[in-house]
Structures are given as C-alpha cells and as structure tokens.
Amino acid sequence: MTAFLRALRAEAIKFISLRSSRIASLATVAVVIGAAYGVTALTHQAMLSGDVSAAGGLEPQSAFLMVLHYGQIGSVFLGASVFAQERDNGVVASSLLAVPDRRSFFLAKALSALAFGFVVALPAVLGSYAARCAVLDGRTVGSLTSLPGGDLRLLTGYIVYWSLISLLSFLISSAFRSGIVGLCAMLALTLAISPYLLEFTSAARFLPGQAGAQLLLQDAPLAGDLGPKLGLLVLLSWIGVFAVAGFLSVRSWAVNHAEKGVGS
C-alpha cells in the first residue's frame, strides 16, 4: 500500500507540474464553457429573430450538449497523456526503477487518468451548463428530457462518461504501448467509427463510445437501445478488458530497455 500511495502521489505531482497537462486541462474547460455560451447565445438570438435556419437545427436549451459531445476530446487527450508523458518520451525506466511494483505503478496511473478526467469534466460540464443558463435566464433543459432526475441526471451522465473515457484512453494507450495510438483509437471510436457503423449494424451499440453515450440519453430508451444501466455495464466491460491488456503490457516492459520501448 505504501508503494501504491507513493506512486499515486507522484502521478498527482506530475500532473500539476507538467505544463502540457495544465494547459490541456485549462484549455478544455475554457473552450467548452466559452463555446457553450457562444452556441447558446447564437441559437437563442436566431430563435428570437425568427431566423430558424441560422440556428442550424439546434435548440437554445440543448445546443450546449453538442459542445459537450466534442469536448470529450480533452478527456481523451488527458488519458492518453498519462501514458505518453513517460513512455513516449522515453523516461519510463526511471519511473519503474522508482516504483518497481508494476501493479502499484499501473494502478496509480489508471486511477490518475480517471481522476484527471473527472477534474476536467466537473468544471467543464457544470460551467457549460451555467453558461447556457445565464443566456436563457436560468431556464433548465427541462422538457427536453423525460427521464427521472432531469438536468442533474444528464449532467452527472456527462461527468461520469468523460471520466471513464479518460481512463479507457489511458488503458488502450498502455495496451498498445503508445499514447498516440491510444489517442487516435479513442477519437476514432467515439467520434467517427462507431457513429458510422451504427448506420449499418446494431452491433455498433456495443462499442465503447456508443455504449457510454447511453448515459447521456435525454429520453427513455427506444427499442434496440442499451439504456443507461446496460450501456454503463458495456463500457465498464471494455475498461476491464483493456485494464487486463494494459497491465500485461506494462508487466512485460524491461526496465533496462524501457527507454527504447523494448519489452522483455
């Protein structure tokens, strides 16, 4: 436990001290909140002026949800960077020498990726919601969701989803031993491949991005939808699979060759 707590503390220090992590976190929060305010203001003004086409098919009350959808890129980047900051930069050997227990090393990094995703998601999601409420004089999403819990359930879903996506991004990076691969794979799965495949096969519902998106449903699940509970279970299953793969990959790293990216 002592080794684990030491490793966890080291990860927190790295996150705070590394300029790239700070910039990515602050930029994600600032851009998401600013974009949520801007999109809501533009669509609201378009509706008031009667120029519906200027709103681009968006509703003022829910326009900020589009921003939150693309804002997950920040969480994906942070998760991949937890791995890339050492492995891709060739300094992982020093870390493994400092924390020789691979289980403590891997678990500390995984929990860090989850925590960093949450730390970014909380202000970004709540801040974007506050920004759109400021434009709409406190009006809630309200009638746009028929599920129990209303706006609170919806916002909680986004925070949980962003946090888990950050963790999954780290785990995929670990499994493939590359932060770039993890980043690209997650962006492709969440923003491109799974939405495209869903048009052709219902099996795409079980991909991590689509399964996790069930947490963000505004209405009761339709026939064929996984629903929030099953969607969360499927996403956690993906996390479990890549947690095993990632740990097996980390366990096989040889310290004397780690800086060259060579396993034992």
Q: Which residues, in sequence order, are bridge partners of residue 263?
A: 253
pLDDT for res 53: 64
Q: What are the tokens at 232?
A: 């969360």
Q: Is residue 33 part of a domain?
A: yes
The H-assigned helical ranges of 191-226 are: 194-198, 208-213
pLDDT for res 254: 63
CB atoms within 10 A of CB 185: 20
- Arithmetic mean of pLDDT, 93-112: 78
Computed over every residue of the chain, the mean pLDDT equals: 82
Least confident of 35-39, 45-49, 53-57, 234-238: 53-57
Q: Is residue 264 part of a domain?
A: no
| C-alpha 106 chain-centroid distance | 19
Model confidence at 220, pLDDT cuts 50, 70, 90, reads low
Domain count, the chain: 1
Q: By residue range, what is the domain housing residue 165?
A: 2-259
219 pLDDT higher than 70:
no
CA 219 – CA 73 distance, rounded (Å): 25
Q: Is residue 152 part of a domain?
A: yes
Q: Is residue 139 part of a domain?
A: yes
